[in-house]
Amino acid sequence: MEMLSFASDYMEGAHPAILDRLCETNMMKSPGYGTDPFCESAKELIRRNCECPEAAVHFLVGGTQTNATVIDGLLAPYQGVIAAQSGHISTHEAGAIEFCGYKVLELFQKQGKLSAETVRAYCDAFWKDENHEHMVMPGLVYISQPTEYGTLYSLEELEALRKVCNEFSMKLYLDGARLAYALGCESNDVSLADLARLCDVFYIGGTKCGCLFGEAVVIPDPQLIPHFFTRIKQHGALLAKGRLLGIQFETLFKENLYQELGKTAVETADQLRKIFTEKGYQLVYDSPTNQTFAVLENDRMGELSERVQFSFWEKYDESHTVVRFATSWATTAEEVKKLETLL
């Protein structure tokens, strides 16, 4: 019998509309490094979606690369970046931020989220410390939307974070690796325009949201990071055939595909959560997006893993484990049904 898979949201190639467009344009000639008309058009569409006509938009290949390049662009050498202890840059980027010379200042989180209060308390203590000139100055706050736990910042929470950044002259950067699954979520009240208004930089994730690869970095104030093109190159993050990124993001934003595919994935995840709950499984984290975290009894987990792929998340207790089921634009109702029969 075929294996079901809910292991991640990047198990296929690309959304078919993207692949079609890549085929269609394949033999057209264009100059390299993002100076092609596809990129121009994609940038314009993104600016329009963000209601931010002045924004600089840059396309990079992957998430860790984007985080390292942007954070390196935003920090002064004597500064560090505040992040949740569960933040992707804190845990799963192999020290890419430190490799660039910066400390990640890891703060306590709840449900994967940093609160404005936590950030304020930290900064307050820093600036009041008479030895703060011997310490790493907080210069930037890093958050992800959705978080690594699938949870969402509300507009109110984001505005509070913006406020604390202003109070302490810090910048705000939002990692949108899975942003489609926030935008496609009914309970989400934060639009792209809100992000452009509240963040100094954010990125619209492509890799985990239907692209072959690619992340679109939005910098509302185009003067913010001087010579960002050269810095992307210096980080080894400049794609020679930049058009591939333009073509993909043009497809995602021409007819609202990005939001649509996010919605599809969230719907199957909602269905999954309903099934888990009905069958008496405990869910952890209040994730309304495409990731679902369930507690499985260890033996049950072992059996299930022979029929369906999912991710180990963390130990719950001696006899139980938290596991993650991810849906994507590619997950079908049929796959969810099949999973239901196995639970």
Residues 74, 175: contact at Cβ < 8 Å? no
Residue 191 corresponds to which tokens in the numbers above?
Answer: 């639009």
Q: According to the binding rule CB under 8 A, does residue 324 interact with a copy of itself?
A: no
244 lies in the site for a copy of itself, by CB under 8 A: yes
Q: In whole angstroms, how close is the CB of 145 to a copy of itself at the nearest point?
A: 18
> What is the total count of residues that contact a copy of itself (CB under 8 A)?
77
Distances, alpha carbon 322 to alpha carbons 85, 175, 260, 295, in Å: 18, 24, 29, 5
Q: Which residues of 218-239 are buried (b: 16+ CB within 10 A; e: fewer)?
A: bbbeeeebeebeebbeebebbb
Helical H segments across the chain, by residue range = 16-25, 37-49, 63-74, 88-91, 96-99, 116-128, 155-167, 179-183, 192-198, 228-234, 243-254, 257-278, 298-304, 333-342
The answer to whether residue 201 forms part of the interface with a copy of itself (CB under 8 A) is: no
* Cβ proximity to a copy of itself, 22 vs 155, nearer residue: 22
x/- contact string, 110-139, with a copy of itself (CB under 8 A)? --------------------xx-xxxxx--
Going by C-alpha positions, the residue among 293, 328, 340 that lies closest to residue 312 is: 293
In the complex, the smallest distance separating the C-beta of residue 36 from a copy of itself, rounded to whole angstroms, is 9
User: Rounded distance, CA 66 to CA 315, Å?
Assistant: 30
Among 59, 102, 203, 310, binds a copy of itself (CB under 8 A): 102
| Site map (CB under 8 A) of a copy of itself, residues 282-321, x = contact | ------------------------------x---------
| Cα–Cα separations (whole angstroms), residue 102 to 66, 71, 81, 118 | 15, 9, 7, 21
Question: Is residue 234 a contact point for a copy of itself (CB under 8 A)?
Answer: yes
Cα–chain-centroid distance for residue 232?
19
Q: Pick from 110, 241, 279, 337 the residue near a copy of itself by CB under 8 A.
A: 241
Q: Which listed residue (226, 280, 319, 334) binds a copy of itself by CB under 8 A?
A: 226
- Contact flag: residue 333 with a copy of itself (CB under 8 A): no
CA separation for the pair 198, 313 (Å, rounded):
31
Among 7, 17, 308, 343, binds a copy of itself (CB under 8 A): 7
Which residue number, 29 or 280, has a Cβ lying nearer to a copy of itself? 29
Using the rule CB under 8 A, give the single segment among 51-59, 61-69, 114-122, 142-150 that binds a copy of itself.
61-69
Pairing of strands 137-144, 79-84: parallel
Q: Is 94 in the site for a copy of itself (CB under 8 A)?
A: yes
To a copy of itself, the closest distance from the beta carbon of 35 in angstroms equals 10
* Residue 37 near a copy of itself by CB under 8 A: no
Q: Which of 1, 77, 223, 299 binds a copy of itself (CB under 8 A)?
A: 77
